[in-house]
Chain A
Amino acid sequence: MIKSEQAGLYIHVPFCLSKCAYCSFYSIAAPNLIPEFIKALLREMAFWKSSCLPLKGFDTIYLGGGTPSLLSGGQIHDLLNAVHSAFAIAPQAEITMEVNPGDVSPEYLRNLRTWGVNRLNIGVQSFDDGILKFLGRRHSAREAVCVSDAARAAGFDNIGLDLIYGVSGQDVRLWIQTLERALSFVPEHLSCYQLSLEAQTPLFGRYRSEGLSLPAESEALDFFFATSHRLAEAGYRHYEVSNFARGNSFRSRHNMKYWRHIPYLGLGPSAHSFCAGRRWWNTADVAAYIQNLSEGKTPVWQSEELSAEQLALEALFLGLRTQDGIDLEQYQALHGVDLLTAKKQTLGQLVENGLVEIRDGRLSPTLSGLAVADSLALI
């Protein structure tokens, strides 16, 4: 089954007009480099095309960042054309693009739709201006509303909204207000992330210097359950720790590849790729990326060959992040471990305590299990 799966293609657009306070993605505020960057991207595509990467074809494309919507319509168009000519892209491919409120006009959105982008992921984060400001987002709640409406108007029928909860000063009640606003657009997909503080981000420093703290365990759990319950009521499946879809067909096909260990190729600075037990990633430096490719050198910065044990661990912790969980037979075939026997006693405890279910040959987390997905992987 896994063999017939097609790969995912990720393109990282490493530019933002300013840096959000919590963000640890690689992006820089140098849009003047965009034309050079696009040239380099095209070179990278050619590079992989001529390499003997054992990837049959792709059925998802994901334009992420950074802020891909800083690229002009024409640039997106060129990029997608290049992708199609360099790689075998399935006709029904899911083509997602991340957009930030405030950056895109209705016309821009219409063009995206025309050029084949069929899924939009909007970085709303919150419908509360105070929180948006706290997070260092460049847009307002109003702009988030506008872009969501405009996306629908442009004909997008697969829209995802990204939201963040657990921000200092935000209790569960306030968060649910944002969630309700989001639901009013009836998005096909929602990503609800608990705020995490990444080292070296301004927010990390601010939390420390102002003595702020993230929600404690029990409050974090309240957020988690409240979100899941409200969204279940509204008809969403909680299919991954932080992801919800209005039915299976609206799950992010691209992101699911990460959790299912399906190969993916990442283009652009800092992008990660995974194929045939190997993971590699490009240099996280736009200038070096451009330079390397212009000199015909590889943009790959580092790589790792995963041991059987590492693959098994990854398959476990990635699989257990998803509501579908792990296909036990397949896991045994791929990793040589019969989890039911090897972890009998612990799994027994987990089942008894309502953290996992074992049904139809699958080991899958319950909602309480999803809350401790990482710990589950340590069984």
Chain B
Amino acid sequence: MENIRNFSIIAHIDHGKSTLADRLIQYTGVCNERNFQDQLLDNMDIERERGITIKSNAISLPYRAQNGQTYTLNLIDTPGHVDFSYEVSRSLASCEGVLLLIDAAQGVQAQTLANLYLAMEHNLEIIPIINKIDLPSADIDRVLEEIDSELGLDPDTHIKASAKEGTGIEEILEAIVERIPPPKGSGDNPLAALIFDAKYDAYRGTIIHCRVFEGCVKAGDIIRFMYNNATYKVEEVGHFLLQRAKREKLSAGEVGYIIAGVKTVSDVRTGDTITHQDRPCPGPLPGFKEVKPVVFASIYPIASDDYQDLADSLEKYKLNDASFIYEKDSSAALGQGFRCGFLGLLHLDIVQERLEREYDLSIILSVPSVRYRFTLKDGRVLYVDNPTHYPDPAEIDKGEEPYIRASMMLPERYLGSVMKLCMEKRGVNSNMNYTGPGRVELSYEMPLAEVIFDFYDRFKSVTQGYGSFDYDIIDYRESNLVLMDILVNGEKVDALSQIVHRERARARALNACDRLKDEIPRQMYKIAIQGAIGSEIIARSTISAFRKDVTAKCYGGDITRKRKLLEKQKEGKKRMKMIGSVSIPQSAFLAVLKSDND
């Protein structure tokens, strides 16, 4: 145990975690040049393409230190987006130390701080690393100043690195060995292992990623999940090298995997504690929380024939994503589909893309919504996350919507525009303090719905990318809510309905009408788009008719070519949904959430 180090790399998004992980992996020689590809721990295509980490990942690195001893360094790579912050916290709970990466050009950002606080909560050793020192815009002195004043860390403890160019890597490895304490705990105690992730393997079922704190676990053991008391027989345990590497046992202090015939990842809760059935530990490890989806949207197949395919694909997809939930749903405009819950809009985006890509489905997502709470006159309380289930307005006594506390960090010069944006988003109870010269930490309480509605994009744009943002859900607050419908050529498209604050309804309706006008391709006849509350039309736009094809001649030699062209266009139309006599493209449903301010 003396020769184990469990650590994580934390940073604000894009500050270089995955790239640094790549360098550490290469340096310790786990992976030869031939097998190497960038962002080695980002396994999914979608992670590589977008350059972001969605799932946590772990790898054991053998390292021969300058003191002559060999160490096992367990690196846990974590996602960087707000949608996945609970996973980050569980990964951190599995470590004794962190590398805190700070982009030398961008300096300390909101999630640098948020992650630092998390690391401090877990009493982790913190090694600040100034990354990207190769950038011409790197400003190391400023970052050192921020490490001191904003993070409250000793700037003398920092390491300068360029993950891209591989500078500072050995110094980092030495610091891990010297400064991060070895794990505590005893292999003789009753088993207590923390689940920090779970992945699905088609042959082996769920692969549980865990950190053993006490005791040890081996094949043949009967283990119990403390959250739901489910028991399983362990089939295999092991370490993470580039592939899984089977081991005799996993002991206190170690990070590894357990395979125990668990069918789906949804049977496993990240943050849960694993113990032995016959010799349980006294209680679960601290910090367990069930993550709940906050954004809801319905998914429909574009072609109703594909409903069963969609059902099958969701089932398969769900095997690997425990935070995604779904149930049957149907829409008057779009037919049979599923209501789904997501951790946030990025999560939603990822699910959509993976369904389309990995399962080859053409789907439509309804306008996302948060979960509202209605108290009816008869005292009943309803949670409504689907505008289709909006209660009869005459029966509503009180409507409430979820609020968040948003924490933002930004250079002072953007303060005015960010405050304006927050007010526009119905932000209240602001709090502000200067964390350093020219830097402001700002917090607001805001309706979650406003944050989903293009807040993040606009925040990024008004701060020109310098601002950072994080949030926590706080409570439900009373709100004057109405149901806003969208009609396309007089026909209500329920998947475009939104529950909105009454004062915002007109602006939102106008925005939706304008957006749809841009998104829906012109057709051979005029299309009227209207926003309505009940029978009252509050906004409208018109898409003029398409009146002339460029189609001069079509004789014997032209027919095949023309047919191919039309076939292609037809194929494109298949990705649109016919509602009444209007083809609405997939993109329209999410576009209504974006405003044209940016």
Interface residues of A (CB under 8 A from B): 10, 25, 191, 193-196, 214, 217-218, 220-221, 224, 241-242, 255, 258-259, 264, 266, 270-274, 279, 281, 304, 310, 313-314, 317-318, 321, 345-346, 348-350, 352-353, 355, 368, 371-378
Contacts and interface: CB of A to CB of B under 8 A. Distances in A.
25 contacts: A10-B556, A196-B550, A196-B552, A214-B550, A217-B548, A221-B547, A224-B548, A241-B552, A271-B557, A272-B557, A272-B559, A279-B559, A310-B567, A313-B567, A313-B570, A317-B563, A321-B554, A346-B578, A371-B547, A371-B548, A371-B549, A372-B547, A375-B523, A375-B524, A378-B570
Contact of B562 (A193, A271, A317): A317
A378 B560 contact: no
A376 B550 CA distance: 13
Interface in B504-550: 523-526, 545-550
Contact of B551 (A191, A279, A373): A373
Contacts of B562: 317, 374
A258 B548 contact: no
A224 B205 CA distance: 65
Closest 7 CB pairs of A and B: A353-B525, A349-B581, A272-B556, A193-B552, A374-B549, A221-B548, A346-B581
B555 interface: yes
Contact of A255 (B525, B547, B555, B578): B555
A279 B560 contact: yes
B563 A314 contact: yes
Which of the listed residues B548, B559, B566 has the most CB atoms from chain A within 10 Å of its own CB?
B548
A261 to B, nearest CB: 9
Given A349-B581, A376-B524, A195 B552 contact: yes
B566 A374 contact: yes
Nearest to B549: A374
A378 B569 contact: yes
Contacts of B552: 193-196, 241-242
Contacts of B553: 191, 193, 196, 242
Nearest to A348: B581
Contacts of A272: 556-557, 559-560
Contacts of A259: 554
B545 A353 contact: yes
A280 B559 CA distance: 11
B549 to A, nearest CB: 4
A272 B550 CA distance: 23
A153 B550 CA distance: 37
Interface of B: 489, 523-526, 545-557, 559-560, 562-563, 566-567, 569-570, 573, 578, 580-581
Contact of B525 (A193, A258, A273, A350): A350
A219 B545 CA distance: 15
A10 B567 CA distance: 27
A264 B560 contact: no
Contact of B556 (A191, A264, A349, A368): A264
B357 to A, nearest CB: 26
B563 A313 contact: yes
Contacts of B580: 345, 349
A372 B546 contact: yes
Contacts of B570: 313, 378
B523 to A, nearest CB: 8
Contacts of B578: 346
Contacts of B547: 217-218, 221, 368, 371-372
Contacts of B567: 310, 313
A349 B582 CA distance: 10
Contacts of A313: 563, 566-567, 570
Contacts of A345: 580-581
B560 A304 contact: yes
A281 B555 contact: no
A128 to B, nearest CB: 19
Nearest to A345: B581
B332 to A, nearest CB: 15
Contacts of A195: 552
A375 B563 CA distance: 12
Contact of A266 (B525, B545, B556, B573): B556
Nearest to B523: A375
A366 B450 CA distance: 48
B529 to A, nearest CB: 15
Given A264-B556, A350-B525, A355-B525, 10 more contacts: A25-B557, A196-B552, A196-B553, A241-B554, A258-B559, A273-B556, A349-B581, A355-B524, A374-B566, A376-B524
B558 to A, nearest CB: 8
